[in-house]
Structure 1
Amino acid sequence: MLANPHTARLYRTIVGGLGTLVVLIGLALVPLPGPGWLIVIIGLFIISSEFHWAQRLLRFVRDNVERWTHWIMAQPLWVRWTTGAVTAAFVAVIVWLTLKLTGLPDWVPDLRLFDVIGLH
Protein backbone atom coordinates (compact mmCIF):
# COMPACT_ATOMS: atom_id res chain seq x y z
CA MET A 1 0.00 0.00 0.00
CA LEU A 2 2.72 2.49 0.95
CA ALA A 3 4.95 1.52 -1.98
CA ASN A 4 2.97 3.94 -4.12
CA PRO A 5 4.37 7.47 -3.49
CA HIS A 6 0.93 9.08 -3.76
CA THR A 7 -0.55 6.66 -1.24
CA ALA A 8 2.44 7.14 1.07
CA ARG A 9 2.09 10.93 0.92
CA LEU A 10 -1.66 10.69 1.58
CA TYR A 11 -1.03 8.34 4.51
CA ARG A 12 1.60 10.69 6.01
CA THR A 13 -0.77 13.64 5.57
CA ILE A 14 -3.58 11.78 7.34
CA VAL A 15 -1.30 10.64 10.17
CA GLY A 16 0.15 14.15 10.55
CA GLY A 17 -3.29 15.76 10.50
CA LEU A 18 -4.80 13.30 12.97
CA GLY A 19 -1.80 13.57 15.31
CA THR A 20 -1.87 17.37 15.13
CA LEU A 21 -5.59 17.40 15.92
CA VAL A 22 -5.01 15.16 18.97
CA VAL A 23 -2.12 17.40 20.13
CA LEU A 24 -4.27 20.55 19.75
CA ILE A 25 -7.14 18.98 21.69
CA GLY A 26 -4.68 17.97 24.41
CA LEU A 27 -3.22 21.48 24.57
CA ALA A 28 -6.71 22.94 24.89
CA LEU A 29 -7.34 20.60 27.82
CA VAL A 30 -4.02 21.27 29.60
CA PRO A 31 -5.33 24.04 31.89
CA LEU A 32 -8.30 21.91 32.89
CA PRO A 33 -8.09 19.02 35.32
CA GLY A 34 -7.71 15.78 33.48
CA PRO A 35 -5.41 14.13 31.01
CA GLY A 36 -4.43 17.14 28.85
CA TRP A 37 -0.70 16.38 28.76
CA LEU A 38 -1.37 12.67 28.28
CA ILE A 39 -3.48 13.49 25.20
CA VAL A 40 -0.67 15.72 23.87
CA ILE A 41 1.79 12.84 24.28
CA ILE A 42 -0.61 10.44 22.54
CA GLY A 43 -0.82 12.90 19.64
CA LEU A 44 2.99 13.01 19.51
CA PHE A 45 3.05 9.20 19.43
CA ILE A 46 0.72 9.28 16.44
CA ILE A 47 2.81 11.87 14.60
CA SER A 48 6.10 10.17 15.52
CA SER A 49 5.05 7.04 13.65
CA GLU A 50 5.76 8.96 10.43
CA PHE A 51 7.92 11.99 11.28
CA HIS A 52 11.43 11.94 12.74
CA TRP A 53 11.14 15.42 14.29
CA ALA A 54 8.20 14.15 16.36
CA GLN A 55 10.26 11.15 17.48
CA ARG A 56 12.97 13.54 18.72
CA LEU A 57 10.38 15.72 20.47
CA LEU A 58 8.78 12.69 22.09
CA ARG A 59 12.20 11.50 23.29
CA PHE A 60 12.88 14.99 24.73
CA VAL A 61 9.52 14.96 26.57
CA ARG A 62 10.10 11.44 27.90
CA ASP A 63 13.61 12.28 29.10
CA ASN A 64 12.48 15.45 30.88
CA VAL A 65 9.51 13.78 32.54
CA GLU A 66 11.84 11.02 33.72
CA ARG A 67 14.36 13.60 34.97
CA TRP A 68 11.60 15.51 36.81
CA THR A 69 10.32 12.31 38.39
CA HIS A 70 13.79 11.34 39.62
CA TRP A 71 14.41 14.86 40.93
CA ILE A 72 11.12 15.15 42.81
CA MET A 73 11.50 11.67 44.33
CA ALA A 74 14.99 12.59 45.58
CA GLN A 75 13.62 15.61 47.48
CA PRO A 76 12.63 15.57 51.13
CA LEU A 77 9.07 14.61 51.90
CA TRP A 78 8.08 18.20 52.72
CA VAL A 79 9.16 19.35 49.24
CA ARG A 80 7.10 16.60 47.59
CA TRP A 81 4.07 17.41 49.75
CA THR A 82 4.43 21.14 49.08
CA THR A 83 4.74 20.51 45.33
CA GLY A 84 1.64 18.31 45.46
CA ALA A 85 -0.30 20.90 47.50
CA VAL A 86 0.63 23.74 45.13
CA THR A 87 -0.37 21.60 42.15
CA ALA A 88 -3.69 20.69 43.80
CA ALA A 89 -4.35 24.36 44.63
CA PHE A 90 -3.62 25.35 41.03
CA VAL A 91 -6.02 22.71 39.70
CA ALA A 92 -8.68 23.81 42.22
CA VAL A 93 -8.37 27.44 41.07
CA ILE A 94 -8.67 26.37 37.42
CA VAL A 95 -11.76 24.27 38.18
CA TRP A 96 -13.32 27.13 40.16
CA LEU A 97 -12.54 29.65 37.43
CA THR A 98 -13.94 27.33 34.75
CA LEU A 99 -17.15 26.81 36.72
CA LYS A 100 -17.39 30.54 37.48
CA LEU A 101 -17.15 31.38 33.78
CA THR A 102 -19.34 28.58 32.44
CA GLY A 103 -21.72 28.09 35.36
CA LEU A 104 -22.58 24.92 37.18
CA PRO A 105 -24.11 22.14 35.08
CA ASP A 106 -27.83 21.52 35.64
CA TRP A 107 -27.22 18.05 37.05
CA VAL A 108 -25.16 19.40 39.99
CA PRO A 109 -27.22 19.43 43.21
CA ASP A 110 -27.97 22.77 44.86
CA LEU A 111 -25.58 22.80 47.82
CA ARG A 112 -24.85 25.66 50.21
CA LEU A 113 -21.13 25.10 49.59
CA PHE A 114 -21.49 26.59 46.10
CA ASP A 115 -22.87 29.82 47.60
CA VAL A 116 -19.94 29.98 50.02
CA ILE A 117 -17.32 29.65 47.29
CA GLY A 118 -19.13 32.02 44.95
CA LEU A 119 -20.44 29.65 42.32
CA HIS A 120 -24.14 30.53 42.49
Structure 2
Amino acid sequence: MYLTSTNAMTTDGCLYNIDGNGNRVAAMIYGPKDVYVVVGVNKIFESEEEAIDHIKNVSAPANAIRLHRQTGCAVAGKCVNCMSDQRICASYVKLARQGNKDRIHVIIMRQELGY
Protein backbone atom coordinates (compact mmCIF):
# COMPACT_ATOMS: atom_id res chain seq x y z
CA MET A 1 0.00 0.00 0.00
CA TYR A 2 1.22 3.48 -0.84
CA LEU A 3 -0.21 6.69 0.64
CA THR A 4 0.57 9.95 -1.13
CA SER A 5 -0.83 13.26 -2.29
CA THR A 6 -0.87 14.83 -5.72
CA ASN A 7 0.30 18.22 -6.93
CA ALA A 8 -2.94 18.81 -8.84
CA MET A 9 -6.04 17.07 -10.14
CA THR A 10 -8.49 18.06 -12.84
CA THR A 11 -12.23 17.70 -12.54
CA ASP A 12 -12.12 14.89 -15.12
CA GLY A 13 -9.99 12.81 -12.70
CA CYS A 14 -6.47 13.22 -14.10
CA LEU A 15 -3.65 13.48 -11.56
CA TYR A 16 -0.70 15.78 -12.27
CA ASN A 17 2.64 15.52 -10.51
CA ILE A 18 6.10 16.97 -10.84
CA ASP A 19 8.83 15.06 -9.08
CA GLY A 20 12.55 15.54 -8.62
CA ASN A 21 13.79 11.97 -8.26
CA GLY A 22 10.78 10.14 -9.65
CA ASN A 23 10.32 7.93 -6.59
CA ARG A 24 6.88 9.30 -5.69
CA VAL A 25 5.44 9.14 -9.19
CA ALA A 26 7.05 5.76 -9.86
CA ALA A 27 5.17 4.23 -6.93
CA MET A 28 1.95 5.81 -8.15
CA ILE A 29 2.42 4.34 -11.62
CA TYR A 30 3.70 0.88 -10.76
CA GLY A 31 4.45 -1.26 -7.76
CA PRO A 32 2.20 -1.16 -4.73
CA LYS A 33 -1.01 -3.16 -4.94
CA ASP A 34 -3.05 -0.22 -3.63
CA VAL A 35 -2.35 3.50 -3.94
CA TYR A 36 -4.27 6.05 -1.89
CA VAL A 37 -4.05 9.65 -3.09
CA VAL A 38 -5.28 12.37 -0.72
CA VAL A 39 -6.37 15.58 -2.47
CA GLY A 40 -7.35 18.90 -0.87
CA VAL A 41 -9.95 21.04 -2.64
CA ASN A 42 -7.28 23.65 -3.35
CA LYS A 43 -5.61 21.22 -5.77
CA ILE A 44 -8.62 20.58 -8.01
CA PHE A 45 -8.75 22.46 -11.32
CA GLU A 46 -10.99 22.61 -14.38
CA SER A 47 -8.24 22.26 -16.98
CA GLU A 48 -4.82 20.75 -17.53
CA GLU A 49 -3.43 24.23 -18.12
CA GLU A 50 -4.66 25.42 -14.71
CA ALA A 51 -3.26 22.32 -13.01
CA ILE A 52 0.18 22.73 -14.57
CA ASP A 53 0.23 26.46 -13.85
CA HIS A 54 -0.55 25.75 -10.19
CA ILE A 55 2.24 23.17 -9.98
CA LYS A 56 4.85 25.37 -11.64
CA ASN A 57 3.96 28.57 -9.83
CA VAL A 58 2.69 27.40 -6.42
CA SER A 59 3.60 23.78 -5.60
CA ALA A 60 7.13 23.61 -6.99
CA PRO A 61 8.36 26.92 -5.53
CA ALA A 62 6.85 26.07 -2.12
CA ASN A 63 8.45 22.62 -2.14
CA ALA A 64 11.82 24.02 -3.26
CA ILE A 65 11.73 26.48 -0.35
CA ARG A 66 10.64 23.76 2.10
CA LEU A 67 13.50 21.52 0.94
CA HIS A 68 16.04 24.40 1.07
CA ARG A 69 16.87 24.03 -2.62
CA GLN A 70 18.85 26.65 -4.47
CA THR A 71 16.58 27.00 -7.49
CA GLY A 72 15.21 29.85 -9.53
CA CYS A 73 11.64 29.16 -8.43
CA ALA A 74 12.64 29.27 -4.75
CA VAL A 75 14.02 32.78 -5.33
CA ALA A 76 11.42 34.11 -7.81
CA GLY A 77 8.39 32.38 -6.29
CA LYS A 78 7.41 31.00 -9.70
CA CYS A 79 8.84 28.74 -12.36
CA VAL A 80 11.75 30.24 -14.29
CA ASN A 81 12.57 26.95 -16.08
CA CYS A 82 15.93 26.77 -14.32
CA MET A 83 18.54 24.15 -15.02
CA SER A 84 19.81 23.98 -11.45
CA ASP A 85 21.31 20.71 -10.23
CA GLN A 86 18.91 21.10 -7.28
CA ARG A 87 15.84 21.38 -9.52
CA ILE A 88 12.86 19.48 -8.07
CA CYS A 89 10.82 19.31 -11.25
CA ALA A 90 12.59 16.71 -13.35
CA SER A 91 9.67 14.35 -14.07
CA TYR A 92 6.31 15.61 -15.27
CA VAL A 93 3.66 12.93 -14.97
CA LYS A 94 -0.01 12.94 -15.92
CA LEU A 95 -1.97 9.93 -14.67
CA ALA A 96 -5.02 9.78 -16.89
CA ARG A 97 -5.96 6.14 -16.50
CA GLN A 98 -4.83 3.15 -14.48
CA GLY A 99 -4.83 -0.22 -16.18
CA ASN A 100 -5.33 -2.12 -12.93
CA LYS A 101 -8.94 -1.51 -11.97
CA ASP A 102 -9.41 -0.23 -8.40
CA ARG A 103 -5.66 0.09 -7.75
CA ILE A 104 -5.63 3.88 -7.27
CA HIS A 105 -8.06 5.33 -4.74
CA VAL A 106 -8.50 9.12 -4.71
CA ILE A 107 -9.70 10.62 -1.44
CA ILE A 108 -10.94 14.20 -1.79
CA MET A 109 -10.85 16.18 1.43
CA ARG A 110 -13.22 19.12 1.90
CA GLN A 111 -10.38 21.35 3.07
CA GLU A 112 -7.27 22.97 1.69
CA LEU A 113 -4.26 20.70 2.11
CA GLY A 114 -0.70 21.44 1.11
CA TYR A 115 0.15 23.63 -1.85
Give TM-score, length-normalised by structure 2: 0.23
Q: Return the structure number with greater helix share.
A: 1
Rg larger for: 1
* TM-score in terms of structure 1 length: 0.22
Higher relative contact order (CA 8 A, sep 6+): 2
